[in-house]
Structure 1
Amino acid sequence: MEEALVSIITPSFNSEKFIVETIQSVQNQTYKKWEMIIVDDCSTDQTVSIIEQFVKNDHRIRLFQLDKNSGAGIAREFALSKASGDYIAFLDADDLWKPIKLEKQLQFLKEHKAHFTFSFYDCINEQGNGLNKRVEAPRNLSYRQLFFCNYVGNLTGIYEVNYFGKIAISATRKRQDWVLWLTILKKIERAKPVPESLAFYRIRDNSLSASKLDLLKHNFAVYRRFHGFSYVDSLFIMIGFLFTQLMIKPRYIKKI
């Protein structure tokens, strides 16, 4: 049977410090049939020239450049339009995959006859040093659980195109991944993660999750715009979100 092609969606913006490691983590995959579609969002540093060197030496890597700075959502959506894979996976330009990531996930999907999965991931700092923190998720993630907390790390998600089609990426500046996973879980109701860490999420010094207030604003916007709840209903739902963040989610953040 012919191997499935995995399309990897990577937006980039001023990522010269990290993009080499990110691309190399894809090249180091034990599963070799992939295409990496990088869409640069008008970087002003050396990001593009660095990527171009990889493109010259690896035909599986493709680079596109937006005409104006538009945000990661637009970059991901553009990359999606260029993707031809049987599966869609996501990797931001400062995050890393462990070498076995794609192989493990494709095997997991086949064994469980599933169309979507994700995995746990470890956190590193801007310099690439481990923070001794692993982010896990419920082993049988329901739509309701996801409704109150995004347990799926963007760098770990992978879905089957023949089952879902190409799922449009939200153009909002933040929380596009959560909206994507909610769209998927709305259809399949539950999803199982590969129960091990397959990636490294980089926490940047200048954005340690931005601010808590901004996070609340973006989550509120998801309830209002994606779910279509009224202003008042969204406020009440945010109470459930805050409860999950304070009381439930910490159970899935482990020291390693």
Structure 2
Amino acid sequence: MLKISIIIPLFNTEKFIARALESCIKQTYSNIEIIVVDDKSEDKSIEIVKQFCQTDERIHLIENDSNLGPFVCRNKGAIYANRGGGQILMFLDSDDTLEKNACEEVALSFQEEIDLCIFQFKRQEGERQYQENSWFNRDLSLNLDEFEKLWIDNGGSNLINSLCNKAFRTEIFIQNFEENLKNIQERLLMAEDAIVSVSYLSYVKKVRLLNQSLYIYYVNENSATQEKTNLSKIALYLQNLLFAINFLKHLPQIPLKSHNVFIGIAVCNLKIHYLDLQKSINKGFFCRLGLKIKRKRVKILKSRLLKSPF
């Protein structure tokens, strides 16, 4: 049986971490380990995790000496998993959950000798749960060229960036970390998923698209509202987005035209996000007009890339 490592970055989610851990413990697939990386939490999150560790030996806790951010936490978890013989990596945010058959479906997919599995996910907003709109609607096994062309043909959605609706081959994830990510010093709170996902793809030969919702993303409206008014955090997000744009532009190229177009579209998506975030904090008429014009130019470039012949 393939060993699956579920990595959970943890920071101040005492209200939700038990729910996340329960969803891991109740998996129908047993050969798993749950790696919680605590990022210097200031609430009771870590005490809750330690209680779970006492009752399930598959749960491992790593404690950071300082707050380093989710990018570093995920990489720490991946390194730990690799040393412990983990073969597949999955990522779970500490306020979200996995469906109970998530690991079983992922393990079945990796029996096909794939390098990446992408599955659907649901959003939970209060009592309302719904499946996120996706760019694929059936199970498919594709080589990298076929996968990227399908994504491009379906509009180049920025949903490709998320780490939580994917499962990675640990060996390749570590290779990508060593060759592309290890020396990143930027404190990343936004766009780190794009950096990891897009750089990982250059090592991929075969992808499995799984048309099942295996992950539940919980929308915290209070948190989202607070972040919209936190100017220092927005400034860091803007800095992160600029870093990610520059990072993707300078990734080593591979001899596959679809991949270069793929990266170009991913960069456009990040630029659009950057401009939208800038617009949210700039209220001046001429400033907003300038941002609107820049956004339109990026959309035109993305449209041209989407129509690129291969």
TM-score grouping bracket, smaller chain normalisation:
0.7 to 0.9
Hey, what's the Cα distance between the residues in 2 that align with 1:132 and 1:88? 25
Alpha-carbon spacing, 1:89–1:167, altered in 2? closer, same or farther (3 Å): farther
Q: Supply the AA of the counterpart residue of 1:71.
A: G
Q: Percent identity?
A: 22
The equivalent residue for 1:61 is 59
1:181 counterpart = 2:190: no
Residue correspondences, number: 237
The equivalent residue for 1:203 is 219
1:100 counterpart = 2:101: yes
CA contact (8 A) 2:136 2:211 kept: no
The equivalent residue for 1:222 is 244
CA contact (8 A) 2:8 2:93 kept: yes
Alpha-carbon spacing, 1:104–1:148, altered in 2? closer, same or farther (3 Å): closer
Alpha-carbon spacing, 1:166–1:103, altered in 2? closer, same or farther (3 Å): farther
Q: Secondary structure at the match of 1:188?
A: coil
The equivalent residue for 1:250 is none
The equivalent residue for 2:116 is 116
CA contact (8 A) 1:9 1:89 kept: yes
Residue by residue, what CA displacement relative to the aligned partner does 1:24-80 show, whole Å, maximum 9, x if unpaired? 000111101111110111111110110000000101001111111111111112222
The equivalent residue for 1:149 is 158
The equivalent residue for 2:289 is none
The equivalent residue for 2:277 is none
Hey, what's the Cα distance between the residues in 1 that align with 2:297 and 2:28? 38
Residue by residue, what CA displacement relative to the aligned partner does 1:108-140 show, whole Å, maximum 9, x if unpaired? 2224x3121121100013x5x334342423366
Structure with the higher fraction of residues in helix conformation: 2
Hey, what's the Cα distance between the residues in 2 that align with 1:99 and 1:20? 15
Hey, what's the Cα distance between the residues in 1 that align with 2:128 and 2:161? 20
Alpha-carbon spacing, 1:240–1:182, altered in 2? closer, same or farther (3 Å): farther
Of structures 1 and 2, the larger Rg is shown by 2
Alpha-carbon spacing, 1:32–1:115, altered in 2? closer, same or farther (3 Å): same
Hey, what's the Cα distance between the residues in 1 that align with 2:77 and 2:69? 13
Q: RMSD value over aligned CA atoms?
A: 3.4
Structure 2 unaligned residues grouped into runs of 5+: 138-145, 252-263, 272-294, 304-310
The equivalent residue for 1:251 is none
Hey, what's the Cα distance between the residues in 2 that align with 1:192 and 1:241? 34
Q: TM-score, normalised by structure 2?
A: 0.66
Hey, what's the Cα distance between the residues in 2 that align with 1:154 and 1:74? 14
Structure 1 unaligned residues grouped into runs of 5+: 248-256
Q: Supply the AA of the counterpart residue of 1:159.
A: F
Shift of 1:22: 0.2
1:1-256 paired onto structure 2 within 5 Å: 3-83=1-81, 84=84, 85-111=86-112, 113-125=113-125, 127=126, 129-138=127-136, 141-142=147-148, 145=152, 149-168=158-177, 172-188=188-204, 191-208=207-224, 210-211=227-228, 218-228=240-250, 237=268, 238=271, 243=299
Alpha-carbon spacing, 1:240–1:202, altered in 2? closer, same or farther (3 Å): farther
Q: RCO greater where, 1 or 2, for CA within 8 Å and sep 6 or more?
A: 1
